[in-house]
Structure formats: C-alpha cells, structure tokens
Amino acid sequence: MKNPFKNTIFLFGITKYNKLPEDLGTEILLSGRSNAGKSSALNALTQNKKLARISKTPGRTTEINFFQVEDDFKLLDLPGYGFAKSGQSRRKDWGPLLGEYFEKRESLKAVVVFMDIRHPLKEIDLEMIDLCKEFEVPFILVLAKADKVSRSIALKTQQEVQKQTDALDVIATSNLKNTGFDKLSKVLLRYRDDQAIVS
C-alpha cells in the first residue's frame, strides 16, 4: 500500500497569526516536549529521514512549521514546548500565536501530543491536553520510543494514559522497530476525511 504521507514537503514557518495561509482544508498540529520523539516520528511517518531536523538541543524558536501532505492536508509542527497553556503565566512563553490559532482556526481538526513512553503525562503534556479540551479539539496521544520498554509495560502504559486522559487514540510507536506508524497514519487520515469522533 502506498504511503499517503510519502510526498510530504516542508512549506514555511509562521510566527504571527496574520501570516497564516488561508483557513481551508485540514490541519493537524504536532506537539510534544523536546526530545519526545516528535521529529523522528514525523520522519518515520513520511519515510523521509531529512524532512524534520532532529536535535538533542531544544529549539528556542516559537514558529509553527507547515508540512504539506496534500493540497488541502497539512501537518503543523510546533517546536518542543515550553508554551502550551492559555494561562497568563505562560503567555510570555508562547505568545498570542498558539492561543489565536486554537480560538480561530477552522482548519484545525486535531492535535497530536508526542510523549516518551517512559515519561508520559508530564505537567506540560497535561496542559496541552487541557488546551485541546478547552477548545474542543480532538487529541491523539503518541507514546514514542516504545522499544525502550517491554511489550507488557508498553501496553500497560497505553491503558493507564487512556484512562487518565479519556483519549480516543493512544498509539505506541517505535522508530527503531518501525512500529505504530501504520496506525498513526490511519488515524490522521481519518481526521483528514472528516470522519473523526470528537474526544
């Protein structure tokens, strides 16, 4: 089966809401702590090791990077956060861009929250999940680096994360073993096709 994400390309980075392209089609936001495996997962999903830069040093930019899968289907990559909560104390970290994006963007169909399976549901992850719930945006939880734990622990962690968050989708992935990406692909395409069930 052909990988529908195979021809994904980088478009541009955005730092201000008024620089966003026309509000059409489907946009899925990719979020996660620095080094949670987000960039590696994006590269694995698209089968392009050079698409997203992988760094051991957390980025300081607050850009949203646009990747085009199809004309009306884009993945938007957030830098490893520090900026997720709508509370006043964090506005200085993430600025108005993300808040405006959640409030106004009709194209936003879902948010993927990437977490290291060994350290899921840190405070900053919960803040992003709360932000999704606040604006009624469906969220997909991805437990990356599943090869770092046993299958039984991976399954148990998935179950615990689902129970704590009421997430519709909790997916374990491993870049090393190339597992979980078929399922992630199907879930993302479900949102593209507007067949999603709101979390």
> The domain that contains 87 carries what CATH number?
3.40.50.300
pLDDT one-digit tens code per residue, 66-110: 999 999 999 999 877 654 444 444 444 555 778 888 999 999 999
Given a contact cutoff of 8 angstroms between Cβ atoms, the answer to whether 179 and 171 are in contact is no
- How far apart CA 44 and CA 52 sit, in angstroms, is 10
In a domain, 2, yes or no: no
Between 79 and 196, the higher pLDDT residue: 79
In a domain, 67, yes or no: yes
Given a contact cutoff of 8 angstroms between Cβ atoms, the answer to whether 69 and 92 are in contact is no
In a domain, 109, yes or no: yes
pLDDT score, position 79: 77
pLDDT score, position 85: 44
pLDDT score, position 197: 43
What does the H/E/C string look like for 22-65?
A: CCCCEEEEEEEECCCCHHHHHHHHHCCCCCCCCCCCCCCCCCEE
Phi, psi of 116 (to 5 degrees): -70, 125
pLDDT score, position 83: 46
Range with the lowest mean pLDDT among 6-10, 33-37, 95-99, 162-166? 95-99
pLDDT score, position 52: 84
In 3-state terms, what secondary structure has residue 110? Answer: strand
In a domain, 19, yes or no: yes
In a domain, 197, yes or no: no
pLDDT score, position 89: 44
Given a contact cutoff of 8 angstroms between Cβ atoms, the answer to whether 160 and 121 are in contact is no
In a domain, 80, yes or no: yes
Q: CB-based burial of residue 42 (10 Å sphere; 0-12 exposed, 13-18 middle, 19+ buried)?
A: buried
Nearest to 175 by CA among 133, 151, 143, 138: 143
Range with the lowest mean pLDDT among 5-9, 12-16, 167-171? 12-16
- How far apart CA 163 and CA 143 sit, in angstroms, is 14
Structural domain harbouring 80? 9-192
In a domain, 198, yes or no: no
- Domain total for the chain? 1
pLDDT one-digit tens code per residue, 12-62: 998 888 899 999 999 999 999 888 888 889 999 999 988 987 655 555 456
In a domain, 117, yes or no: yes
CA 19 to chain centre: 21
pLDDT score, position 14: 87
pLDDT one-digit tens code per residue, 108-145: 999 999 999 999 999 889 989 999 999 999 999 999 99
What phi-psi label fits residue 49: left (phi over 0), alpha (psi between -120 and 50 degrees) or beta?
alpha
pLDDT score, position 112: 97
Q: Which two tokens stand for residue 133?
A: 């719930």
